């Protein structure tokens, strides 16, 4: 079925990016962050490509995302790190999903689920080394370790990971990076002294930015997300050889000739300065084309860049095509790798004052993801 718009996802690019990151990670294992529908690229097909590229583990924020991977037939180890009250912990244990905990309340909830299901919970304990988001503050860390060791002695949990997350890894040289690494060392030492560390316990802290710039942050495993999809974690430092995986296209829905002085779209923020041809692009803010793109972002149509003309609506926006002979059904490229002169996701992010993560994760569910270059697994 032809659709008004589609996001093509190049799985070969994802395999290439993961292999490149794996090389950058030295001997460390790679856990691919596939939360938020693999950053909007499609959960199961992308996770398979991530594993084919050399990842040995997957990471999601919520348990539901991990369960969707299991339903999709993915058997690799998966860690879910954002567990809030009343999440389906029983199902996670039954499906062998590894869980993160950062306080004794959640440890208790996980232990109860382990007793109910008869499954030993595989836990990664998260330390807050200075981001002040998830994680256990170092002051409370010894207490968390002690409680975890009691539960381990009872046989309801296993401690298989110790981890943390950087606040500023994408700002090279930021003083918090060294401070967080020092705090992580302290957390690891305390775990060792308590008897919660050891060679079987995986230590991890590196996101994409740390994976490509901080060899000292690799530890046993790196946890990249954005870079796997080919988007630079530190755009100021270049593309690191990554290949963007997503190309967002639409087909022009309507073409019409209008006179000079025509006000275009809501609030008439754009007015034609001569007789011209307008094209309707069937993507709007409900599909993740931010309203803020009005008059700022560009698309490629008929071999030329065109500005989003007038306000982005819920389902559509207009482009001004001048006298170019474009027709309904012709392709418009919003962004892609950039090889054909189309804007990149990075360009959209820069234009809109945001990061690439936000552009790709917001592409809505009305836009089908078309996965190309599937592997042979």
Ligand X SMILES: *Cc1c(COP(=O)(O)O)cnc(C)c1O
Chain residues binding ligand X by CB under 6 A are 33, 35, 81, 165, 207-208, 223-227, 233
Q: Name the minimum Å distance from CB 371 to ligand X.
A: 20
Please, which residue, 91 or 167, has the CB nearer to ligand X? 167
- The residues near 147 (Cβ < 8 Å, ≥ 6 apart) are 104, 107
CB of 355 to ligand X, least distance (A): 9
**Side-chain half-sphere CA neighbours of 76 within 13 A:** 23
CA 337/CA 268 separation, integer angstroms: 32
CB of 157 to ligand X, least distance (A): 20
Q: Please name the residues in contact with 257: beta carbons below 8 A apart, sequence gap of 6 or more.
A: 275, 276, 277
Bridge pairing between strands 317-320 and 298-301? unpaired
Dist. CA 174–CA 140, nearest whole Å? 26
Q: CA dist 59 to 25, 69, 74, 92, 371, Å?
A: 17, 10, 12, 13, 21
Nearer to ligand X, 169 or 280 (CB): 169
Nearer to ligand X, 217 or 250 (CB): 217
Contact 290, 364 (CB under 8 A): no
Query: What is the CA angle 140-117-123, rounded to 5?
Result: 30
Among residues 189, 256, 266, 374, the one annotated as catalytic is: 266
**Nearest residue (CB) to ligand X, 18 versus 250:** 18
- Residue closer to ligand X by CB (options 207, 272) is 207
Buried (b) or exposed (e) across 99-115, using 16+ Cβ within 10 A?
A: bbbbbbebbebbbebbe
Furthest-apart CA atoms within the chain: distance in Å: 79
Which are the contacts of 170, defined by CB distance < 8 A and separation ≥ 6? Answer: 209, 233, 234
Taking the complex as a whole, how short is the minimal distance between the CB of residue 80 and ligand X, in angstroms? 10
Contact 368, 7 (CB under 8 A): yes
Exactly one of 22, 35, 39, 229 is catalytic; which is it?
A: 35
* Beta strands at 202-206 and 221-222: parallel, antiparallel or unpaired: parallel
Task: Give the strand order in the sheet containing 5-10.
Answer: 254-258, 276-281, 317-320, 304-309, 298-301, 331-335, 246-251, 5-10, 369-372
Concerning whether 285 is annotated as a catalytic residue, the answer is no
Whose structure tokens read 């339903």?
Answer: 71
* Identity of the residue, 190 or 221, whose beta carbon is nearer to ligand X in the bound complex: 221
Annotation marks residue 39 as catalytic: no
* Minimal CB distance residue for ligand X: 225
Q: Measured from the CB atom, is 165 or 371 closer to ligand X?
A: 165
Least distance to ligand X, CB of residue 177, Å? 14
CB of 133 to ligand X, least distance (A): 9
Q: Which residue, among 360, 362, 358, has the nearest Cα to 286 in the 3D structure?
A: 362
- Smallest gap from residue 346 Cβ to ligand X (A): 14
Known catalytic residues are: 35, 266
């Amino acid at each position: 079925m032809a659709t008004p718009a589609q996001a093509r996802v190049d799985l070969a690019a994802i395999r290439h990016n993961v292999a490149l990151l794996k090389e950058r990670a030295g001997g460390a294992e790679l856990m691919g962050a596939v939360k938020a529908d693999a950053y909007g690229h499609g959960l199961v097909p992308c996770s398979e490509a991530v594993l084919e590229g050399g990842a040995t583990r997957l990471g999601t924020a919520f348990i539901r995302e991990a369960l969707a991977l299991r339903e999709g037939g993915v058997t690799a180890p998966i860690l879910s790190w954002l567990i809030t009250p009343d999440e389906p912990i029983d199902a996670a244990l039954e499906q062998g999903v590894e869980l993160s905990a950062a306080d004794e309340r959640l440890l208790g909830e996980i232990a109860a689920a382990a007793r109910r299901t008869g499954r030993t919970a595989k836990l990664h304990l998260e330390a807050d080394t200075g981001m002040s988001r998830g994680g256990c503050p170092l002051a409370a860390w010894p207490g968390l370790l002690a409680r975890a060791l009691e539960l381990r002695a009872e046989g309801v949990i296993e401690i298989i990971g110790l981890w943390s997350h950087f606040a500023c890894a994408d700002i090279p040289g930021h003083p918090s990076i060294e401070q967080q690494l020092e705090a992580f060392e302290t957390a690891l030492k305390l775990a060792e002294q308590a008897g919660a560390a050891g060679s079987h316990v995986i230590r991890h802290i590196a996101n994409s930015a740390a994976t490509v710039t901080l060899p000292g942050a690799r530890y046993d495993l790196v946890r990249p997300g954005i870079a796997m999809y080919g988007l630079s974690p530190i755009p100021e430092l270049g593309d690191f050889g990554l290949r963007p995986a997503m190309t967002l296209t639409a087909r022009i829905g309507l073409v019409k000739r209008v006179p000079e002085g025509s006000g275009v779209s809501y609030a008439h923020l754009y007015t034609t300065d001569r007789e011209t041809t307008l094209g309707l692009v069937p993507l709007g803010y409900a599909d993740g084309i931010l309203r803020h793109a009005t008059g700022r972002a560009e698309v490629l149509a008929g071999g030329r860049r065109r500005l989003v003309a007038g306000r982005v609506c819920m389902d559509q926006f207009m482009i001004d095509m001048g006298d170019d002979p474009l027709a309904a059904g012709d392709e418009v490229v919003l962004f892609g790798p950039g090889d054909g002169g189309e804007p990149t996701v990075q360009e959209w992010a820069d234009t809109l004052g945001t990061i690439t993560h936000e552009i790709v994760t917001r592409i809505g569910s009305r836009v089908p993801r078309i996965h190309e270059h599937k592997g042979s697994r």
